[in-house]
């Protein structure tokens, strides 16, 4: 680990100011990605700004049509929330399936989204529900947020404050997990929302993406059989030590069908 200045932010405004002052600063949420990165000397920031003490970034608020989750709310808190489970149970179940107990009690939704790991679970929920990512500067629609491998629409110095999930008519998330890390080799979030059916995939490509053909088929008939014959091209899917692109393409169909059945 290279030497850096550790700075603890007292508020969202303070965090933005400390980040702007740093020569090459990095934000730390739960640290589940950043700390191993620093230990392996894969990053050399001048400053690490810790968001852990900012109360305004934690908490869950439920209204009639949305669930708003603060960026520093842990996966464990989301999984244990009766409000989330009673409003969007698919999100609570997704959070409960992230990593292990240590990861769930330290990792945060904001950190996960800002990192945009191709195998992370939360991007599927954000995209599948058409959520809105709220930052210290603006609001970003889910369809505009995920750009590429570890790349989002966040601008330099922009900080996620919360995520607002619209309450769907029904939804479910199913994943084929890596048995060691529990990252999604492929995960599919299916939701019937006020704006139509959405099918979001994580784990398969450089970042989370939607499958328009499945969405159209499910809009006509919300049943696993409606998408049974739909094949997702594997041209742009990931191939690594865990799975080949064609296998991931096959898994998208399998997990999507299971997610629809679960949502029913």
- Written as one string, the DSSP assignment of 126-157 is HHHHT-EEEESS-EEEHHHHEEETTEESPPTT
Residue-wise pLDDT for 228-250, tens only, equals 999 999 999 999 999 999 999 99
Instruction: Kindly state the average pLDDT of the residues 211-221.
Output: 98
For the chain, give the mean pLDDT.
97
Domains 1-49 and 170-263 are alike in CATH topology: no
Task: Calculate the CA 219 to chain-centre distance.
Answer: 24
Residue-wise pLDDT for 172-197, tens only, equals 999 999 999 999 999 999 999 999 99
One of 3.40.50.300, 3.30.43.10, 1.20.1090.10, 3.30.230.70 is the CATH number of 1-49, namely: 3.30.43.10
262 touches 255 (CB < 8 A):
no
User: Sign of the CA dihedral 62, 207, 249, 212?
Assistant: positive
In this structure, which topology does domain 170-263 adopt according to CATH?
Enolase-like; domain 1 (3.30.390)
pTM, to two decimals: 0.95
Check residue 134 and give its pLDDT.
98
**Would you say residue 74 has pLDDT above 90?**
yes
Confidence band of 64 (pLDDT split at 50, 70, 90): confident
Check residue 180 and give its pLDDT.
92
Residue-wise pLDDT for 32-60, tens only, equals 999 999 999 999 999 999 999 999 999 99
Tell me how far apart the alpha carbons of residues 153 and 189 are, in angstroms, rounded to a whole number. Answer: 21
Going by C-alpha positions, the residue among 37, 44, 1, 42 that lies closest to residue 23 is 44
Domain definitions of the chain by residue range: 1-49, 170-263
Instruction: Kindly state the average pLDDT of the residues 142-163.
Output: 97
93 touches 262 (CB < 8 A):
no
How many other CB atoms are found less than 10 A from the CB of residue 100?
A: 10
Instruction: Kindly state the average pLDDT of the residues 23-35.
Output: 95
Q: Which two tokens stand for residue 222?
A: 């919300």
Check residue 264 and give its pLDDT.
93
The torsion angles phi and psi of 171, rounded to 5 degrees, stand at -165, 160
How many other CB atoms are found less than 10 A from the CB of residue 152?
A: 20
Tell me how far apart the alpha carbons of residues 87 and 23 are, in angstroms, rounded to a whole number. Answer: 43
Q: What pairs with residue 67 in β-bridges?
A: 62, 165
Check residue 52 and give its pLDDT.
95
Close Cβ partners of 19 (under 8 Å, ≥ 6 residues apart) = 25, 27, 47, 49, 157, 159
């Amino acid at each position: 680990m290279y030497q850096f200045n550790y700075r603890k932010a007292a508020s969202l405004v303070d965090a933005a100011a400390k980040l702007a002052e740093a020569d090459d600063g990095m934000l730390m949420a739960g640290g589940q990605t950043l700390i191993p990165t620093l230990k392996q000397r894969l990053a050399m920031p001048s400053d690490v700004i810790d968001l852990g003490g900012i109360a305004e970034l934690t908490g869950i608020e439920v209204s009639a049509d949305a669930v708003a989750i603060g960026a520093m709310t842990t996966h464990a808190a989301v999984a244990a929330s009766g409000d989330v489970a009673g409003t969007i149970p698919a999100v609570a179940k997704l959070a409960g399936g992230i990593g292990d107990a240590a990861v769930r009690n330290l990792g945060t939704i904001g950190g996960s989204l800002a990192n945009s790991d191709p195998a992370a679970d939360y991007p599927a929920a954000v995209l599948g529900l058409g959520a809105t990512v709220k930052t210290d500067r603006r609001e970003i629609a889910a369809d505009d947020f995920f750009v590429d491998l570890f790349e989002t629409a966040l601008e330099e110095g922009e900080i996620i404050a919360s995520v607002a999930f619209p309450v769907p008519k029904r939804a479910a998330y199913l994943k084929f997990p890596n048995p060691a890390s529990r990252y999604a080799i492929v995960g599919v979030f299916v939701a019937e929302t006020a704006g139509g059916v959405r099918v979001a995939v994580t784990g398969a490509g450089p970042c989370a993406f939607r499958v328009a053909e499945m969405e159209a088929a499910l809009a006509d008939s919300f049943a696993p059989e409606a998408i049974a014959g739909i094949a997702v091209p594997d041209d742009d899917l990931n191939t690594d030590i865990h799975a080949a692109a064609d296998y991931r393409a096959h898994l998208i169909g399998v997990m999507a069908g299971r997610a629809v059945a679960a949502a029913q």
